[in-house]
Structure formats: C-alpha cells, structure tokens
C-alpha cells in the first residue's frame, strides 16, 4: 500500500510525453509525492534542459524536472536496492502486440503487495495482464480527458484542462474491494492536492472505459485508416451513417451485453465529440501520421474479443480491426520489427 502521507509518496512515472508530464507536474505541485520519470525518446533533452511546459492549468513552466529526476530506463528496485515505489504510474502508449508488454516493462519497479499501479491509459481489459503479472497488487484506472501533446522534444503544450476519472480496477484475487477503493481515494488526494486539476472518483471504471471505447474503438481507428481527422470523417461522403454509426452500435451492444448500460444518446455524443471547426486528430490518426505504432489491441482488438465471447455480431468492427492490424504490420515493417523476403531481381 502507499505510504502514510507524513512523508512524500515515492512515485515512478513511466512515460513522460504530453499526458505523463502534466501528471508529474500535478503531483509535484501538490507536494504530497516525489516523482521519478522514466523517459524514452526525450530522455537526453529533458535530462539536460528539463521540460518546457505551456500549461492551461499551470501556466508557463520553463526548465522543469520532477524532483527525483528522470531515467532512461525502468529501475530495478531489488538489484539496485532502492526503496520500494508506492506508486508506479503508466502513461505510455500501450501496444501489447509489440514486446515488451507493459507488465514486463514495469516489473523491475513493482514491489509485490506494495506498489499501487495507476494506469492512466485508454482501452479496455488493460488491467488483465497486470493482475496476471502482479496478482497481489492494487491497480487503479485513470481515464483522462486532458489535451496535452509533446510538440517538440521536451516541449509540452497542454491546451485542454486536465480532467481525470480515477477509480480502482477489481483485482479478482482480493475478496474485499475496500483497500482498492481506499487506494483510489488516497491517490486522488495526492493528485489533486495542488488544486489545479479536476480529479474525480469513478465508482465504475469499466463503465467509464466502455463509454470512451465507443469513440476510441471506432472513430479513432477509422480516422487512422482513412487518414481523416474527426471533423472530416463527419464530412466525408456516407462514412458516418455507412460505417461509424453501425460500428459504434456494435460496440454499444457489446457494452450492454457485458452489463454496462450507456446513455441512449452516447453514439451521437461520440460522433460529435470534437468541435467541428477544430479538425482534431484522434490518437490513432496522430500515431499513424507520425509513423508510430497504434494502440490497436486495447482499443479495437479487446472490444472485438469481448463481442466474440458474449456472442454479439460485430461485422463492421471486425473489418476495422483487420485493416488496423494490416496498417500496424506495415509500421512494424518500416520500424524493422518485421522483414519480408527480397523482391525479384533486388
């Protein structure tokens, strides 16, 4: 469990991009936690110069680093005889189709039965591999509504306020959920201590995740496949009525069958979520345009596998999934993760 608040909580953050950096800044500003951030692509720049942050919640913050600094890889608390982390927060992209998986990645920093894992990430069923790997740990769920992006290396533009719905995943190995709920409230206290962010307790984290997957499992991949932003998708020929709405209806029915009753108007809400004149790029389109891997499995694959389990037909979602996997395959080839046989005469 997390340490009592008389001393600062010892926190490891994995993923210091647009979302993770503001998470770290929130916590440090509140004074109840001390953060170490594990970075990848921006490690050298941030290690030397710190972050440059332009934040709608925190203002202009130059040359900023978390108090316990940044690391280029996940520390091994046992081998390095480090004090245990009270929290490991994950804010990275989550692509279980590319090793290492997230549980493998964070394992050296997780103390069994002690570290609270906080997943501030999209998707459904993301907690399952965590509980498999860490059966005795509490895992919290963060569904973030923040708008924050790394515009240049180490330069964070946070232009839409941080709103975080935080609750506890149910660890199937625990009979009592009270410690999980208490851990969620403890983290909320720590996260909201600066008073600069809107963090709310979520008592049904799965409901919140299935609500968001209506957008992220359908409109998000369709934007990536068609290379259209979320406004152009609404303008493009018959795409909304011919594909977006039918596929969203499939996901809605999967959620219903699983017991998550979403509002009747959720599909229209999600189709029109982004302001029309903003021409926003959802995350998968962003990744696609940057040539990055997309979160195909946790956003599209998992809803589809749930559909198959509960017997809801999802012909549209199936095609979206196959096409996303093919595009992901191409990205893997470009990144050298896959090689193909040589071309004739080459």
Residue 205 or 244: the one with the smaller Cβ distance to its own copies is 244
343 makes contact with its own copies (CB under 8 A):
yes
| Among the listed residues 145, 203, 278, 335, the single contact to its own copies using CB under 8 A | 278
> 96 and 294 in contact (C-beta within 8 Å)?
no
Cα distances (Å, whole numbers) of residue 248 to 46, 261, 285, 296, 308: 40, 14, 18, 16, 16
Residue 185 or 232: the one with the smaller Cβ distance to its own copies is 232
| Proportion of the chain in helix, strand, coil states, percent, rounded to 5 | 40, 20, 40
CB of 252 to its own copies, least distance (A): 18
CB of 238 to its own copies, least distance (A): 7
| Among the listed residues 72, 152, 275, 291, the single contact to its own copies using CB under 8 A | 275
344 makes contact with its own copies (CB under 8 A):
yes
Cα–Cα distance for residue pair 212/270, rounded to 1 Å:
8
**Which range of residues in 35-43, 71-79, 264-272, 324-332 is near its own copies by CB under 8 A?**
324-332
Cα–Cα distance for residue pair 305/61, rounded to 1 Å:
43
Site string for its own copies, 10-39 (x = CB under 8 A): ------------------------------
User: What are the phi and psi torsion angles at 336 (to 5°)?
Assistant: 80, 10
**Which range of residues in 73-81, 182-190, 261-269, 334-342 is near its own copies by CB under 8 A?**
334-342
Residue 219: name the closest of 235, 234, 237, 238 by CA: 234
Residue 292: name the closest of 163, 156, 154, 150 by CA: 150
| Among the listed residues 153, 177, 226, 269, the single contact to its own copies using CB under 8 A | 226
> 123 and 102 in contact (C-beta within 8 Å)?
no
Tokens of 49: 């110069």
Half-sphere exposure (Cβ direction) of 17: Cα atoms closer than 13 Å: 15
298 makes contact with its own copies (CB under 8 A):
no
194 makes contact with its own copies (CB under 8 A):
no
> 55 and 126 in contact (C-beta within 8 Å)?
no
| Among the listed residues 237, 264, 265, 311, the single contact to its own copies using CB under 8 A | 237
337 makes contact with its own copies (CB under 8 A):
no
Helix and strand numbers (H, E) in the chain are 15, 12
Residue 59 or 341: the one with the smaller Cβ distance to its own copies is 341
263 makes contact with its own copies (CB under 8 A):
no
CB of 325 to its own copies, least distance (A): 4
CB of 43 to its own copies, least distance (A): 31
| Among the listed residues 98, 236, 273, 286, the single contact to its own copies using CB under 8 A | 236
Residue 169 or 288: the one with the smaller Cβ distance to its own copies is 288
Listed in sequence order, the residues at least 6 apart from 112 whose beta carbon sits closer than 8 Å to its beta carbon are 134, 136, 137
145 makes contact with its own copies (CB under 8 A):
no
Strand partners, 165: 143, 200
322 makes contact with its own copies (CB under 8 A):
yes
Using CB under 8 A, list all residues that contact its own copies.
Answer: 222, 225-228, 231-233, 235-239, 242-243, 275-279, 315-316, 318-323, 325-330, 333, 340-344
């Amino acid at each position: 469990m997390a340490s009592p608040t008389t001393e600062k909580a010892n926190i490891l953050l994995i993923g210091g991009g647009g979302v993770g950096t503001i998470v770290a800044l929130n916590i440090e500003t509140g004074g109840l936690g001390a953060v170490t951030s594990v970075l990848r692509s921006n490690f050298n720049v941030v290690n030397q110069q710190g972050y440059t942050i332009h934040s709608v919640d925190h203002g202009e913050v130059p040359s900023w680093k978390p108090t316990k600094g940044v690391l280029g890889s996940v520390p091994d608390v046992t081998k390095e005889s480090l004090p245990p982390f009270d929290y490991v927060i994950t804010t990275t992209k989550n692509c279980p189709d590319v090793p290492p998986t997230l549980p493998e990645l964070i394992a050296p920093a997780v103390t069994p039965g002690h570290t609270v894992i906080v997943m501030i990430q999209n998707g459904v069923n993301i907690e399952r591999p965590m509980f498999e790997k860490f059966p005795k740990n509490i895992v919290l769920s963060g569904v973030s509504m923040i708008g924050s992006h790394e515009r240049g290396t180490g330069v964070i533009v946070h232009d839409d306020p941080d709103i975080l719905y935080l609750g506890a995943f149910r660890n199937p190995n625990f009979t009592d959920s009270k410690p999980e709920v208490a851990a969620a409230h403890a983290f909320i206290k720590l996260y909201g201590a600066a008073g600069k962010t809107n963090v709310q307790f979520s008592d049904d984290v799965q409901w919140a995740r299935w609500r968001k997957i209506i957008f992220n499992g359908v409109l998000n991949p369709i934007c990536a496949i068609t290379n259209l932003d979320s406004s152009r998708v609404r303008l493009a020929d018959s795409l909304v009525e011919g594909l977006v709405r039918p596929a969203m209806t499939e996901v809605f029915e999967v959620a219903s069958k699983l017991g998550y009753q979403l509002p009747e108007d959720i599909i229209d809400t999600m189709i029109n979520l982004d302001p029309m004149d903003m021409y926003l790029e959802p995350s998968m389109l962003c990744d696609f345009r940057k040539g990055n891997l997309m979160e195909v499995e946790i956003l599209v694959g998992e809803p589809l596998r749930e559909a198959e389990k509960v017997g809801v037909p999802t012909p549209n979602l199936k095609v979206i999934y196959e096409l996303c996997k093919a595009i992901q395959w191409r990205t893997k080839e470009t990144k050298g993760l896959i090689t193909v046989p040589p071309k004739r005469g080459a």
